Amino acid sequence: MTQPHYPPTAAPAPWRESFLGGSPQAEAALFRTLAEQMRAVQMRNQQASGQSRPGRTLHAQMLAGMVGARLEVNPQLAPGLAQAHFQPGAVLACDLRLSFASGLAHGGLQRDMRGAALRLHLPQGGAHEILLTNFPVSHARDARQFVEIATLMTGPKALMPLKMLLRLGPGETLRVLRNLSAATGGLRGLAEENFWSRGALLWSEAGPVRLKLHPAAAVGGVPAEGESVAAHFARLLASQDLAWHLSAQRYQDETRTPIEDGCTGWSDADVPWERVATLTVPRQDLGTPTASAQAQALDATPFNPWHAPQAFRPLGNLNRVRRDIYAASAQRWAGRDGGGGGGGRDGAAGAPPHSAR
């Protein structure tokens, strides 16, 4: 096999985060308002579901939950990306929760995005959680727009485009609807799904990166007629290991690889993807009582991209806003936010989100 071409090891290009509203204080005040709006989304979803307790504000429906997966770091990992627990050949135990993105459970008949939440167990204790969805870029330009759209989505579906038009104007509405349509279209099976971090995260000394989880092999197309996405995935996993590669794009400069603008992609043509690791879910029967109990226990634990060592903290306003919103959401559905997974060399990323430099 020919070796991929990796950029030479060099110090990362200078980068910075900048705050919505122009200052950490202004952004913090805005985030408090956005957190209130997301709380209202969660309450509306609870009402619509008829449940006595709220569920996850988004990604309420688990499609598969698996413990005992493993992430093997690429033995030929580019030296610059070999940071902390990501050392060539290292194997990390890992859990995986696959979900539909909606805040309301549904039978899979409606078009919906999909999410993958990874919990890497760190050798020194603690966890590094990585959350991804099945489209390279966010539909929302920034945190404000994300919450605005999440709020619109809790209303009647038929009125959403019109309401969006009034709130965002024609250009942004068209862009958002195109993004959502592309992200929720297609009938790919979960085992062949691609997932992106969409936002950037710090990769210790390597600087900011974006991540992608992509299937290691073609394994079995689409669900059969009448078969749910979850059942199709379970059927494939019953007969074979399923594997994805985790790859990273590195920050280049603010124009080609923006940190604060979540709806602009880091172009594949401009920025190479570098293989970081391979995630393998071992062949198993998800229908046994043990596997079901493990999946339910996993479903009951909150994920948060800020459950990460400080040296791997998420970056950009769309990520900064997630820290407290996920924690507050989990407080309401699980009675806890799951704590800072971190525990890595540099401690959990529970530091104030306004630690931008």
* Interface contacts to ligand HEM, rule CB under 6 A: 38, 56-59, 97, 99, 115-117, 131-133, 138, 143, 146-147, 197-199, 262, 302-303, 318, 321-322, 325-326, 329-330, 333
3-state SS string over 49-110?
Answer: HCCCCCCCCCCCCEEEEEEEEEEEECCCCCHHHCECCECCCCEEEEEEEEEECCCCCCCCCC
Nearer to ligand HEM, 15 or 303 (CB): 303
Q: Which residue is nearest to ligand HEM (CB)?
A: 115
- Shortest distance, CB of residue 318 to ligand HEM, whole angstroms? 4
State how far the Cα of 178 lies from the Cα of 138, in Å rounded to an integer.
Answer: 11
Nearer to ligand HEM, 192 or 324 (CB): 324
State how far the Cα of 148 lies from the Cα of 169, in Å rounded to an integer.
Answer: 13
- Shortest distance, CB of residue 126 to ligand HEM, whole angstroms? 18
- Shortest distance, CB of residue 102 to ligand HEM, whole angstroms? 11
- Shortest distance, CB of residue 321 to ligand HEM, whole angstroms? 5
State how far the Cα of 40 lies from the Cα of 48, in Å rounded to an integer.
Answer: 12
Among 291, 325, 305, residue whose Cα is nearest residue 119: 305
324, two tokens? 């407290």
Element (H, E) at 242: strand 242-250
Nearer to ligand HEM, 20 or 271 (CB): 20
Compute φ and ψ for 256, nearest 5 degrees. Answer: -80, -30
Among 194, 327, 176, 329, residue whose Cα is nearest residue 262: 176
Nearer to ligand HEM, 138 or 310 (CB): 138
Compute φ and ψ for 340, nearest 5 degrees. Answer: -75, 120
Nearer to ligand HEM, 77 or 301 (CB): 301
Give the number of residues written for the chain: 357
Instruction: State the burial class of residue 33 (Cβ atoms within 10 Å of its Cβ: 0-12, 13-18, 19+).
Output: exposed
Nearer to ligand HEM, 84 or 327 (CB): 327
- Shortest distance, CB of residue 144 to ligand HEM, whole angstroms? 9
Nearer to ligand HEM, 4 or 186 (CB): 186
Among 140, 141, 86, residue whose Cα is nearest residue 113: 140
- Shortest distance, CB of residue 327 to ligand HEM, whole angstroms? 8
- Shortest distance, CB of residue 83 to ligand HEM, whole angstroms? 21
Compute φ and ψ for 342, nearest 5 degrees. Answer: 5, -115
- Shortest distance, CB of residue 4 to ligand HEM, whole angstroms? 25
Nearer to ligand HEM, 138 or 173 (CB): 138
